[in-house]
A and B are shown apart, each in its own frame.
Chain A
Amino acid sequence: MKRRDALRSLALLTGGLVLVPSCDFSKEDILAAYQNLQITPTLKQLLADIADSIIPPGKIKGASDLSVQDFILVMVNDCVDENGQQSFMNGLQGFEEFSKKTKGNTFSKLETVQKEELLLAGMTTDAEAERDIRSFLGTTKRFTIQGFMLSEYIQTEVKPYSLIPGDYQGEVLIADIKTDKIHG
């Protein structure tokens, strides 16, 4: 345990780039940056793929172009309570199984439309056995939207944020506001 703690500290000091060999979980290493979660590189890639299906790339960059998966994991690790973290992990770990059961293949092998159908099914499922899938997808969608909309890219290049919003106007006709359509 001591060695493991030391490695974790080292990993944190180096920004989580170090992989900590796991004593008990699997053949795969655990990413040390998220100390409350058991995230392997494979799970993180799966999360990135799911986020990318929620907000896909196009003319405007998509979720994984902006590494939204990193943001999701930071938020779940730091700002979600233990129960929520547990549901999130169960859902993430069980997601490939859910994909195979529902669509007959692992997530990455599905077509775009199938992926979206699968996500929508998971987000609305009432099955008791799929409760964690639903919770995991709800959390992931929420943080994907937040991470995407509040990313540096969106806030500087697409919809620039201004620290100085301008004088208050309390009676602006909506019809007079000109906005250009942004094609995603």
Chain B
Amino acid sequence: MANFNIDAVKERTFQAIVIGSGMSGSWAAKELCEHGVKTLVIERGRDVKHIKDYPTTNMLPYEFEHRGQIPLEVQKENPIVSRCYAFREDAAHFFVKDKEHPYVQEKPFDWIRGYQVGGKSLLWARQVQRWSDFDFEGPARDGFAVDWPIRYKDIAPWYSHVEKFAGVSGNKDGLPHLPDGEFLPGFPLNVVERYFQDQLKAHYGGSRHMILARCAHITGNLDYYAQQGRAKCQSRNLCQRGCPFGGYFSANASTLPWAEKTGNMTLRTNAVVHSIIYDEEKGKATGVRIVDTQSKEMEEYFADVIFVNGSALNTNLILLNSTSNRFPNGLGNDNGLLGKFVAFHNYRAGISAEYHGHLEYTTQGGRPTSGYFPRFRNVFKQETDFLRGYAAGFSANRGVYPEQGGVGMHLKENLLNPDQYGPWRVGSHMMGETIPKESNYVALDPNQKDEWGIPLLRVNVDYDDNDEKMVKDYLEQMTEMFEKAGFTNIQTRDDRRAPGLDIHEMGGVRMGRDPKTSLLNANHQLHAVPNVYVTDGASMTSTATQNPSLTYMAFAARAAHHAMKTFG
């Protein structure tokens, strides 16, 4: 029996464990496996194999019973996820349903989750803009949170590393605050988007830019991506269903199969992490406790190094639930700051308008990206009564609208022969930086547990005065720019959505230079438990304005190499 137990432990022992198989976890796994590290990847959800498990990917519009719409009964049962723009009939199976995974909202917070292999990398908007030192130096310059322990030069080579492998389409724009990267050919901006670029140049003298948003889609270097089994983006714009071409980056299409091919990856699905095991004698983490989501049995796995990539808030939950004599308040939580300084992106405001110029033109084909405003407020110096600023999406579209009046043959002819080109429709939405605060936190519920015996997460996150001022400024500035460009019928909106719906929640396990005021060091190691790395959204000290996934991927790759150097 003794031998049996030793074997059992041996079978459960790896060189590294990665918790989470999504955007950042799959990158850690890929780097580790590629370099010969025997790695266990733990995923709480089911397996989703590239192509095979994309049931809707080639479905035609008429094959969806409600033509894409989510039935009212499902919406009533799942009010949170129903507010997400991508929760539609074609992708609903990749989203967590409210009822299945409850949490406690001390304040309204729409927590959008994807519990499956690949996580939300199947569902993301694929926008990949680099940070610059105007972002990394923000907290130090403007006096909030703590100073990032890294700068652009530390992460730049890793941005390049992940961009090359993931495939990023974009233009070299030469902007200091939105550094250029390793780009495949960019998609075109259309005639009205280019017109708007020129208008900005004319009215703001080069201080405001609208550029092509960089997106994680393959547009060139096709032989290289063929090695991953991926092909050119076909502009289907059905990305949220999973792409049979592997045209956009997802863990399922790219990093996970790559890791698997090495023979060094073991994938354990349907295993929700309960906690990380801390060995007080050895003074380090030695493994992970999981609960099999089906049998509900607890199991233990062991490794020298542990990567926590459970998605921002779940990474907080795991660490908070990893208690021991040494760490009664959660792993590495000597300063009591674990779970605090959570922040997000402010997506509340948007604007739309019409443009009645260039009416002789339209567009054809598909495009998986749009235009992008890099932040122009408070970049080089403080110039407003609020801190930081916002990026924004921008696009112009020309549609054909059939005249739908009347009934009978006349209506039918109009429907089948639409020739009513409306004006160009232009629009933008804000992506505001929010300031991390101690009062924005997550914590474990002292009483309520989920069906696997894990405490429910309590979320207490809200907007502040800075956010309100920023919404107002975005709407004012965009209105001004739209007016200067001759756009008409300008409509602004502030939908007052709850935090979370941006799906950019960050922080709680922030990086910093000082163990007294941060949880992670410059290498993403817990200050107090250096063989535990956190490289997902939880590690963010501040949020900047860029869509964050690219930065998590670069963090994960960089930290994996640090771990191999340190513990290899």
Tell me the complex Cα distance, A173–B360, Å.
6
Q: Which residue of A lies closest to B358 (CB)?
A: A171
Asked whether, in the complex, the Cβ of B60 is within 8 Å of the Cβ of A173, the reply is no
Q: Which residue of A lies closest to B187 (CB)?
A: A168
Name the interface residues of A17-70: CB closer than 8 Å to any CB of B.
53-56, 58, 60, 62
Chain A: residues with Cβ within 8 Å of the partner, total of 50
Asked whether, in the complex, the Cβ of A152 is within 8 Å of the Cβ of B236, the reply is no
- When distances are taken between beta carbons in the complex, the residues of chain B under 8 Å from A105 are none
- When distances are taken between beta carbons in the complex, the residues of chain B under 8 Å from A175 are 360
Please tell me which one of the listed residues A78, A145, A161, A172 contacts residue B362 in the complex, with CB atoms under 8 A apart: A172
Asked whether, in the complex, the Cβ of A184 is within 8 Å of the Cβ of B416, the reply is yes
Tell me the complex Cα distance, A172–B407, Å.
32
Asked whether, in the complex, the Cβ of A172 is within 8 Å of the Cβ of B58, the reply is no
Asked whether, in the complex, the Cβ of A169 is within 8 Å of the Cβ of B365, the reply is yes
Asked whether, in the complex, the Cβ of B416 is within 8 Å of the Cβ of A182, the reply is yes
Asked whether, in the complex, the Cβ of A148 is within 8 Å of the Cβ of B415, the reply is yes
- Is A102 close to B, CB under 8 A? no
Tell me the complex Cα distance, A151–B65, Å.
11
- When distances are taken between beta carbons in the complex, the residues of chain B under 8 Å from A56 are 408-409, 412
- Is B202 close to A, CB under 8 A? no
Please tell me which one of the listed residues B61, B67, B193 contacts residue A161 in the complex, with CB atoms under 8 A apart: B61
Tell me the complex Cα distance, A141–B409, Å.
14
Tell me the complex Cα distance, A141–B404, Å.
10
Asked whether, in the complex, the Cβ of B409 is within 8 Å of the Cβ of A168, the reply is no
Please tell me which one of the listed residues B69, B193, B406 contacts residue A79 in the complex, with CB atoms under 8 A apart: B69
**Stretch from A5-13, A88-96, A112-120 that touches the partner:** A112-120
Chain B: minimal CB distance from A156 (Å)? 8
Chain A: minimal CB distance from B457 (Å)? 32
The 6 closest A-B pairs by CB, nearest first: A170-B190, A168-B367, A184-B412, A78-B71, A165-B366, A166-B365
Asked whether, in the complex, the Cβ of A172 is within 8 Å of the Cβ of B361, the reply is yes
Given contacts A75-B66, A165-B366, A172-B364, 7 further A-B contacts (CB under 8 A): A54-B411, A55-B415, A58-B409, A78-B72, A152-B60, A169-B364, A171-B191
Q: Which residue of B lies closest to A175 (CB)?
A: B360
Contact residues of A with B, CB < 8 Å? 53-56, 58, 60, 62, 74-75, 78-81, 112, 116, 119-120, 123, 141, 145-146, 148-152, 155-156, 158-159, 161, 163-175, 177, 179, 181-184
Tell me the complex Cα distance, A184–B362, Å.
26
Tell me the complex Cα distance, A2–B540, Å.
56
Chain B: minimal CB distance from A117 (Å)? 9
Asked whether, in the complex, the Cβ of A163 is within 8 Å of the Cβ of B412, the reply is no
Asked whether, in the complex, the Cβ of A168 is within 8 Å of the Cβ of B363, the reply is yes
Asked whether, in the complex, the Cβ of B412 is within 8 Å of the Cβ of A60, the reply is yes
Name the interface residues of B75-96: CB closer than 8 Å to any CB of A.
none
Asked whether, in the complex, the Cβ of A152 is within 8 Å of the Cβ of B234, the reply is no
- Is B226 close to A, CB under 8 A? no
Chain B: minimal CB distance from A123 (Å)? 8
Asked whether, in the complex, the Cβ of A146 is within 8 Å of the Cβ of B415, the reply is no
Interface centre among B72, B406, B413 (most CB of A within 10 A): B72
Name the interface residues of B220-270: CB closer than 8 Å to any CB of A.
234-238
Tell me the complex Cα distance, A177–B61, Å.
25
What are 18 A-B contacts with C-beta separation under 8 Å?
A: A55-B412, A56-B409, A56-B412, A116-B406, A116-B407, A155-B60, A159-B416, A168-B235, A170-B190, A171-B190, A171-B361, A172-B364, A174-B421, A179-B417, A181-B417, A184-B409, A184-B413, A184-B416
Q: Which residue of A lies closest to B63 (CB)?
A: A152
- When distances are taken between beta carbons in the complex, the residues of chain B under 8 Å from A119 are 407
- When distances are taken between beta carbons in the complex, the residues of chain A under 8 Å from B236 are 163-165
Tell me the complex Cα distance, A174–B187, Å.
21
Q: Can you list, as one digit per residue, whether each of B84-124 has a CB less than 8 Å from chain A (1) or not (0)?
A: 00000000000000000000000000000000000000000
Q: Which residue of B lies closest to A85 (CB)?
A: B72
- When distances are taken between beta carbons in the complex, the residues of chain B under 8 Å from A148 are 415
Asked whether, in the complex, the Cβ of B190 is within 8 Å of the Cβ of A167, the reply is no
Interface centre among B65, B367, B406, B411 (most CB of A within 10 A): B411
Asked whether, in the complex, the Cβ of A79 is within 8 Å of the Cβ of B72, the reply is yes
- Is B73 close to A, CB under 8 A? yes
Tell me the complex Cα distance, A54–B408, Å.
5
- When distances are taken between beta carbons in the complex, the residues of chain A under 8 Å from B362 are 172, 174, 177
Q: Which residue of B lies closest to A160 (CB)?
A: B60
Please tell me which one of the listed residues A53, A79, A146, A170 contacts residue B189 in the complex, with CB atoms under 8 A apart: A170
